[in-house]
Structure 1
Amino acid sequence: MIQRIQSTYLLVVVILLAFMVFMPFANMISDSTGVEYQIGFMGITATTQVDIPLSTVPLSTLIGLCLAIAFVTIFLFKKRMLQIRLTIVNILLLLGLQGLTYYYTNAASNELNASYSFTIVFVFPVVSAILSFLALRAISKDEALIRSLNRLR
């Protein structure tokens, strides 16, 4: 299972998405009050106790969904067609996650009148989508090989 290159790609995707759970995507500093904020899996947090008006539940849900799909896809190595479909869905969700992360960072920045800077975690969905695409190509090659061997019988 793990000796297959697509399983390795998918395992790296799971690891990158797990990092997104524990690390902030962006840091913000309010221009007017100087309060520092971080946007992460658990929402927008501040260094001081400030009421933050923006909820990031859809963002957290999407991260959890992408993580679960990537993890489950690793163990579907005997059902290649289902693995291909789930990988395609995960690629689309990861690209949506990237856009949603940018949207929430920009919306929070406008709402809190703050300037923001992204951390390295911000690019993890794009890297994960690229790795998922590479896994998709490898799964497709496996499926083509199996089909060609079935024709020889």
Structure 2
Amino acid sequence: MWQRIQTVWLLLVGLLMVLFAFQDIAVFTLPSGQACVLDNWRIYSAVDGASLHSVWGIGILSVLTALGSLALIFLYKRRILQMRLTILTLLVILGELIYIAWASWQFCTENDASFAVRFPLALPIICLPLLYLASRRMIYDETLVRASQRLR
């Protein structure tokens, strides 16, 4: 299990998504000059911490993706299921990024705010090629196992 390279990729995805789940994603600046922060659970005022908008779906998707990718490491004996769930995890991260963009766009249009991205938003984007590499390696392992069974 630990000697397979896809284990490293899945572990990195899990760690990056855990890190992402508890970071600020973006900053909005209202026309009045007040700053608002988007984290994985809400949009809140940077001045007094008052919650302005709830986006808890981002946090739930982040935690589920992190737990899912860490759980995928232990499905090494069921490669086909592991590969399908890896692709599902990749699609969930894409959906999460789309949801972040939608929530940001909605808040900006409602409040005429400007939008500035923070570094943690790059973490799920970094996870996408890692998941792709893991799924490609799972396909390679499965073809290798099938070829060795055919030789028996």
Q: Give the TM-score taking structure 1 as reference length.
A: 0.91
- Alignment-mate amino acid for residue 142 of structure 1: D
Point out where structure 1 has 5 or more consecutive residues left out of the alignment: none
Structure 1 residue 28 displacement after superposition: 1.4
Residue in 2 that maps onto 1:93: 92
Shift of 1:123: 2.3
Q: How does 1:66-81 map to 2 (within 5 A)?
A: 66-81=65-80
Taking the TM superposition and a 5 Å limit, the aligned residue runs for 1:101-116 are: 101-116=100-115
Give the superposition deviation at 1:53: 4.0
> Counterpart of 1:30?
30
Deviation at 1:138, TM superposition (A): 0.3
Aligned-partner Cα distance in 2 for 1:62–1:50: 23
Moved more, 67-76 or 105-114: 105-114
1:115 maps to amino acid: S
TM-score, structure 2 normalization: 0.91
Does 2:123 align with 1:124?
A: yes
Give the conservation status (yes or no) of the 8 Å contact 1:20–1:40. Answer: no
Residue number in structure 1 paired with 2:136: 137
**CA positional deviation for 1:113:** 2.8
Q: Give the Cα–Cα distance (whole angstroms) in 2 for the partners of residues 48 and 119 of structure 1.
A: 18
1:102 counterpart letter in structure 2: A
Equivalent residues, number: 152
Q: Secondary structure at the match of 1:89?
A: helix
CA distance in 1, matches of 2:30, 2:122: 23
Segment drifting more, 65-74 vs 120-129: 120-129
Q: 1:2 to 1:111 in 2, by over 3 A?
A: farther
Counterpart CA distance in 1 for 2:52 and 2:31 is 17
Q: Distance in 2 between matches of 1:91 and 1:62?
A: 12
SS of the residue 1:25 aligns to = strand
Deviation at 1:139, TM superposition (A): 0.7
Name the SS of the counterpart of 2:132 in structure 1. helix
Listed one character per residue, the Cα deviations across residues 78-110 of structure 1 (whole Å, up to 9, x for unaligned) are 111110110011111111111111111222222
Any idea what SS the aligned residue of 1:28 has? strand
Aligned to 1:2: 2
Aligned identity (percent) is: 30
Q: Distance in 1 between matches of 2:76 and 2:25?
A: 32
Which amino acid is 1:83 matched to?
Q
**Runs of 4 or more above 6 Å deviation:** none
Deviations 1:48-102 (A, max 9, x none): 3365442102222211221121111111111111101100111111111111111
